[in-house]
Structure formats: C-alpha cells, structure tokens
Amino acid sequence: MQRWCVLGIVGLVSGSIALPGWAQATLQSWRYDPQWQRLQFQTDQPTQPQVQVVQQQRLVIDLPATRWPYPQNEQSFGTATVRVAQYQPDVTRLVVALPHVISTDQVQLQSQGNGWIVAWSAPPAVRTVLLAAQRQGRGILLRLSGPTVVGRVTRSHDRQWLYVDLPNTAVSVGFQDQTRPYNLRVETGNSGHVRLVLEVSSNDPDWQLFATPQGLLLQPPPKPAPAPVTSRPSRTTSPAPPLPRPRYVVFLDPGHGGSDPGAIGRGGIREKDIVLDISRRVARLLNAQGIRTVVSRHRDVDLDLAPRVALAERVNATVFVSIHANALHLSRPEVNGVETYYYQTGRWLARSIHKNVLKTTRASDRGVRRARFYVLRRSSMRATLVEVGYVTGAEDAPRLASAAYRQKVAEGIAQGIIRYLDNLARQ
Ligand SMILES: [Zn+2]
C-alpha cells in the first residue's frame, strides 16, 4: 500500500521554467503511508512546514518558500486522499483528507534531512474498509480490506429494503459499485459504521451474509431452482403468470439524473426524481410478475444516453422503455397529458403502454407519436419513450408530485409492457 511519487524530471523542468525569486525550495517527492498513518516528503532546500487541522478531517501542511512545479495533483489511498498544489506563489500545500476526525495534538512533525515526516494517530475503531460491492452469482460480494467484520442483516417494515450493517468500517474513496442491476445504496454512519441498503422484492426471503476468502458474500438462501443472474423474480407467492415469459428482459430507463435534473416544473418538482420513482415502481410490479427487469440508473446519478443504450444491448433487452416527464413554459399551465413516442419498431409497444397509462391515470391523451429520440434510434430492440405528464401543467404537476398518482402511472406502464409481452409470447 505504499506509493512513491518521485519526480525524476525536476531538474529538467526547473531548467526550462523560470523560478520565482521568492521560492527557494522545490518539493521533490512525497509518499503517503496509510498503514502507519503518515506522510513523508522531500524538498531540495530546507523548508519549515506549518501543520494545521482544518474541519477536523483535513490535515493541511504548508511549505513556505517552496515550489511545486506541477499542476495540482490528487491521489486516493483507500479512505484517504492526498492533494498537492501550489497554494500561493510561494507556498506549496499538501492536504490529507482523512476518513476520521483528528485533532492537532494527535499530529507529530519530524525532520529527516531535507525531508519531513508528518505522522498522526487514527482512532483505533475503524480498521476495515469497504472497497467494492460486486455481483456474484445471485448475491453480492462485499470486498473488504482489514480485519473481517461481522455484519448484521435486517429488513425494512415493508420488506422492500434489506439493511446490512457493518460495524467499524469505512467506505473507500474509490469504492466501486458493480452490483447492477441490483439497487444498492451505501450510507456512512457517523460512529464508524456503514449501512448498505439493498432493494429486494417483498416476497424474497431474507438474504444472508457469509464470510468467504474474497470478502463477505450477501446472498439469498438457496432455492431449488436458481434464478437468472439479472433478475429478482418472486414467483413463489405471486400467482402464476398467464404465459411463460422467461426469455424477456425489460429495460427501464428513467431519464436524466445527477447534474441533469431534466424539466423543472410547478412547485420545483424535478423530472429526474419523478421518473426515477416511477421506474422503480414499474420494476417492482414487473418483478412481482416474474419478469426480468434491468434499470439504467437506480440512483440520482449522471448517465449519458450512449451508456443507457449500451447497457440495454448488453443485457439483451427485449424492450426498451424510457420514462420522462414533459415541460413547457410555466406560463402554459393548460397543457397537460401523456405522450408516448416510438421511432421504428416500438409502435405497438408505445400504443400498449400509452393506452394502459391513460386507463390507470385518466390523464389527457396527447397521442402516440413518432420521434427521432436518440434512445429510440440507437437501440436495436423495440423501444418507446413515455412522457408521463407535464411538470409545468396545472393538472399534471400536483398529480406527479403525489406518490399515489405515480403508482398509477407505474401500473399503467407495467400493464402495457405485460400486455405487449403476452402478445409476443402468443406469436
Ligand atoms: Zn426528459
């Protein structure tokens, strides 16, 4: 876990760039040692570091009259990051962002030739780091570094969320979530514990946590017939579907997300939130019918259009259903209603969804239309885009803001998809 950052070309660079007269020293190299909780660095001339703790979790080391001849540099080491920059023309600053709170009296500064060691002690509790969550078989592998922790699995009252609590654990800054199509959320507690929140089907039995050499494996108890990897079917208690639909994969694509809120409407309602919620509800309804679903984004994250299509292709989706909400100017409150789009092959899918959404919501019918939207043009499967209503509409906005109404929209979309797939199965 040690990493040297040696700058072998310092001589070359200082030869070609004029040194400002006031900076006498150059920071030549630095090394962060996460195991011993210390930072070492070397300058070519003596310097007098000034160490301070900022906002309880940042160790700031200023090197007066010292140059850093490179652009700002930031590196991650497990749960900590180190940033080096020319803070002022004559001050080089090293900042260590820590995953825990420290105080100045925990920090020691030692000189070593032209080098220095800044050492600090960490609270002993947090020693385990969550590095990644990866899909493995039907379960999720939690990769950890440090001592193995004993996690606890609990369930929400509505049984739709599984909680995994890991004591004395921090989340790595480079944490990787490779659990798609599962919907996993990581929450950090303030007392050095991590909670993983996983969306499950309410019919799913409780998942269990097993210690393996690779990490903690979270998985459902063994079933007689293993389910396909990308699905969370729950056929055990739901009534048998009228027709077998095992080969179908429904790709749901809530539009926008992250820095792109989509349309913003009356009362500040945001398209990205509304469509994410509706997509989750549709996925739940389809899963309850034993239909495999994959969702392009499970969270409020940025996602370009191309990766949405690429993911749908990768999972070999049968249908692509993009979910959006419409908008006009706020001075047009009279425009309300549902519009559904297709490009080439998605016409019947679009009609089926459109018809069923109108049935469950009794919203205004603004028609099924053809349009050259990217996700419709670029996906090879039958694709449709539903505009579930106008966030700027006087009728639609308050309805879309209500969870009960979004459930109706979701029921319509799910019904439309199911009808469409049943027709496919009959062919
Ligand atoms: Zn949109």
Same domain (yes/no): 253, 401: yes
Q: What is the pLDDT of residue 350?
A: 96
| Domain region containing 28 | 3-120
Beta-bridged to residue 166, according to DSSP, are: 194
CA-CA distance, 178 to 164, in Å (whole number)? 17
Determine the distance separating the centroid of ligand 1 and the alpha carbon of 261, expressed in angstroms: 9
The residue ranges of DSSP E strands in 123-201, in sequence order, are: 128-136, 139-145, 152-155, 161-166, 169-178, 184-188, 194-199
Cβ pair 375, 322 in contact under 8 A? yes
Q: What is the pLDDT of residue 2?
A: 35
Same domain (yes/no): 65, 204: no
Q: What is the pLDDT of residue 387?
A: 97
Same domain (yes/no): 288, 389: yes
> Pick from 91, 120, 149: which residue ends a domain?
120
Query: Any idea what the CATH number is for the domain that residue 168 is in?
Result: 2.60.40
Same domain (yes/no): 298, 210: no
Q: No. of H helices and E strands in the chain?
A: 7, 26
pLDDT in tens, 362-388: 999 999 999 888 899 888 899 999 999
pLDDT < 50: residue spans in the chain = 1-20, 225-243
Same domain (yes/no): 257, 402: yes
Residue 239 lies in a domain: no
Signed CA dihedral, 75, 104, 34, 150: sign only:
negative
CA-CA distance, 245 to 420, in Å (whole number)? 11
Same domain (yes/no): 115, 156: no
Q: What is the pLDDT of residue 122?
A: 61
Q: What is the pTM of this model?
A: 0.47
Same domain (yes/no): 144, 68: no
Q: Which residues contact 159 (CB under 8 A, 6 or more apart)?
A: 200, 202, 203, 204
Q: What is the pLDDT of residue 358?
A: 97
Give the residue from 47, 77, 74, 76 showing the smallest Cα distance to 63.
47
Edge-first strand order for the sheet with 249-254 is 292-295, 249-254, 319-326, 382-390, 338-342, 365-370
Query: Any idea what the CATH number is for the domain that residue 279 is in?
Result: 3.40.630.40
Q: What is the pLDDT of residue 13?
A: 35
Give the helix/strand (H/E) hosting 253.
strand 249-254
Determine the distance separating the centroid of ligand 1 and the alpha carbon of 383, expressed in angstroms: 15
Q: What is the number of domains present in the chain?
A: 3
Q: What is the pLDDT of residue 57?
A: 80
Q: Which two tokens stand for residue 252?
A: 């749901």
Same domain (yes/no): 308, 160: no
Residue 104 lies in a domain: yes
Residue 60 lies in a domain: yes
Q: What is the pLDDT of residue 333?
A: 92
Determine the distance separating the centroid of ligand 1 and the alpha carbon of 326, expressed in angstroms: 6
Residue 225 lies in a domain: no
Helices (H), 164-304: 271-288
> Pick from 199, 219, 239: which residue ends a domain?
219
Residue 230 lies in a domain: no
Residue 325 lies in a domain: yes
Question: Which residues are annotated as catalytic?
Answer: 387
Same domain (yes/no): 142, 62: no
**Locate tokens 């030692």: which residue?**
110
Determine the distance separating the centroid of ligand 1 and the alpha carbon of 270, expressed in angstroms: 10
Same domain (yes/no): 80, 136: no
Q: What is the pLDDT of residue 246?
A: 57
Residue 236 lies in a domain: no
CA-CA distance, 10 to 66, in Å (whole number)? 13
Determine the distance separating the centroid of ligand 1 and the alpha carbon of 417, expressed in angstroms: 20
Q: What is the pLDDT of residue 4?
A: 41
> Pick from 72, 97, 120: which residue ends a domain?
120
Same domain (yes/no): 260, 210: no
Residue 344 lies in a domain: yes
Determine the distance separating the centroid of ligand 1 and the alpha carbon of 262, expressed in angstroms: 5
Determine the distance separating the centroid of ligand 1 and the alpha carbon of 272, expressed in angstroms: 8
3-state secondary structure of 307: helix
CA-CA distance, 245 to 118, in Å (whole number)? 62
Same domain (yes/no): 103, 133: no
Q: What is the pLDDT of residue 158?
A: 76
